[in-house]
Amino acid sequence: MEIKPFENKVWLSTPTMHGEEIEYIKEAYETNWMSTVGANINEVERLICEKVGCKYAVALASGTSALHMAVKLAGVKPGDKVFCTDMTFDATVNPVVYEGGVPVLIDTEYDTWNMDPAALEKAFELYPEVKVCVLAHLYGVPAKLDEIMAICKKHGAILIEDAAESLGASYKGVQTGTFGDFSAISFNGNKIITGSSGGMLLTDDAVAAQKVRKWSTQARDNAPWYQHTELGYNYRMSNVIAGVVRGQLPHLEEHIAQKKAIYERYKEGFKDLPVKMNPFDEEKTVPNYWLSCMIIDETAMCMQVRGDLEAHYVTEKGRTCPTEILEKLAEINAEGRPIWKPMHMQPIYSSNPFVTKEGDGRTQVKISAGADIFERGLCLPSDNKMTAHEQAVIIEVVRKCFE
């Protein structure tokens, strides 16, 4: 196979438009609902409730603002500790800090790359006073929900589900975004469907949904003038953005099918290499395959050293590392990414408590599951507009790294 750089860059994951989006944007324009009120907003809220199976959906400016509202609903107060997924995007954790809370980071398990129930159980032993847990489903793979929900229930804790990456994924036939007391989804530009931006707070609690509608529109009281009793936010989704989401929603299953095909082609292409694809529970879950990721077996890792801002490696026969693979992909104009760098390794959160299933929550362990997956794993180009030929070239480039 001839390997030369792609003329058009193959991205990690970019928006895929279909045409309906522009019609709904135009409708917003022509009817002059160029605002945070309008038919597109009402319709996307209805469609998401129908798809996900929740009672209420409140359209907001982003997944992050939805998580912020969820943390507020959960009643997190300054100084309160909150258990959070450790290996994730920082938007899972930051909203806890917006409310003055202290994220306690919970290590990762190897079966789904999500929060480890054993570490969560340990965390409740160490911090029995904790009342809120924020759980992300990484890369569109549902976490161990039975175990995590049972632990939260046992300790009377509220579960906030960060389903920003997992829209359309299900656990035992039920969609993610319905397991949390409060859940968040995202329509950021790189997600499985997009509004260019946007997000939603999902819940079955009517009072909670009503609170978020109020808070997200500056917390105006019902009075003839601007009357405020509570702190407000300008977090509502625009009707123009909602038009994009409305045009995208009918294509969710199609996007998932494309992403699944990408995952399976990688799996097949790497089947004789010392690597594994990002794993999921094949009996209980159907992922949305948002990003295809791989992890290199320990025995096939060459030396790799990562500082805070740069990485080095020493290539070896038969061995490689994420840094080398990402470099080789960049050389052919393809975009991969390291795995989300765990929050406990981030300068901003490095002094927060971090609980592993063995650790004591105070002293930092040398190698946690999260740090290990970050060390050996990477996200592969997963754009649903990537052709089978482009993917075949990418697979060949990765294979060559192991020669």
Q: Which of 88-96, 240-248, 253-261, 395-403 is the region at the interface with ligand PLP (rule: CB under 6 A)?
A: 88-96
What's the min distance (Å) between Cβ of 366 and ligand PLP? 26
What's the min distance (Å) between Cβ of 140 and ligand PLP? 10
CB 238 within 8 A of CB 245: no
Which is nearer to ligand PLP, 137 or 376 (by Cβ)? Answer: 137
What's the min distance (Å) between Cβ of 96 and ligand PLP? 12
CA 99 vs CA 61, 76, 96: distances in Å: 18, 7, 6
Q: Which of residues 35-64 bind ligand PLP (CB under 6 A)?
A: 62-64
Does residue 136 bind ligand PLP (CB under 6 A)?
yes
β-strands 81-85, 132-136 pairing: parallel
Residues 6+ apart with CB under 8 A from 261: none
- Sign, Cα dihedral of 261, 262, 265, 266: negative
Residues 6+ apart with CB under 8 A from 182: 69, 70, 73, 74, 158, 160, 161, 201, 202, 203, 205, 208
Side chain identity, residue 97:
V
What's the min distance (Å) between Cβ of 5 and ligand PLP? 29
Does residue 216 bind ligand PLP (CB under 6 A)?
no
What's the min distance (Å) between Cβ of 145 and ligand PLP? 16
Q: Which of residues 179-198 bind ligand PLP (CB under 6 A)?
A: 186, 188
Does residue 157 bind ligand PLP (CB under 6 A)?
no
Q: How far apart (Å, rounded) are the C-alpha atoms in residues 110 and 125? A: 22
What burial letters (b/e) apply to 82-104, b meaning 16+ CB within 10 Å? Answer: bbbbbbbbbbbbbbbbebebbbb
102's enclosing H/E stretch is strand 102-106
Residues 6+ apart with CB under 8 A from 119: 106, 107, 109, 355, 356, 357
Which is nearer to ligand PLP, 99 or 396 (by Cβ)? Answer: 99
Does residue 165 bind ligand PLP (CB under 6 A)?
yes
Side chain identity, residue 84:
C
Residue 295 DSSP SS3 = strand
Which is nearer to ligand PLP, 140 or 359 (by Cβ)? Answer: 140
Which is nearer to ligand PLP, 199 or 353 (by Cβ)? Answer: 199
Task: Please select the residue that binds ligand PLP; options are 91, 96, 201, 245, rule is CB under 6 A.
Answer: 91
Instruction: Supply 184's token pair.
Output: 């968040």
What's the min distance (Å) between Cβ of 146 and ligand PLP? 21
Which is nearer to ligand PLP, 155 or 259 (by Cβ)? Answer: 259
Task: Please select the residue that binds ligand PLP; options are 38, 117, 168, 199, rule is CB under 6 A.
Answer: 199
Q: How far apart (Å, rounded) are the C-alpha atoms in residues 379 and 236? A: 32
Does residue 114 bind ligand PLP (CB under 6 A)?
no
What's the DSSP call for residue 9? Answer: P
What's the min distance (Å) between Cβ of 62 and ligand PLP? 3
Does residue 92 bind ligand PLP (CB under 6 A)?
yes
Task: Please select the residue that binds ligand PLP; options are 162, 181, 324, 335, rule is CB under 6 A.
Answer: 162
What's the min distance (Å) between Cβ of 69 and ligand PLP? 12
Task: Give residues in contact with ligand PLP (CB under 6 A).
Answer: 62-64, 88-89, 91-92, 136, 162, 164-165, 186, 188, 199
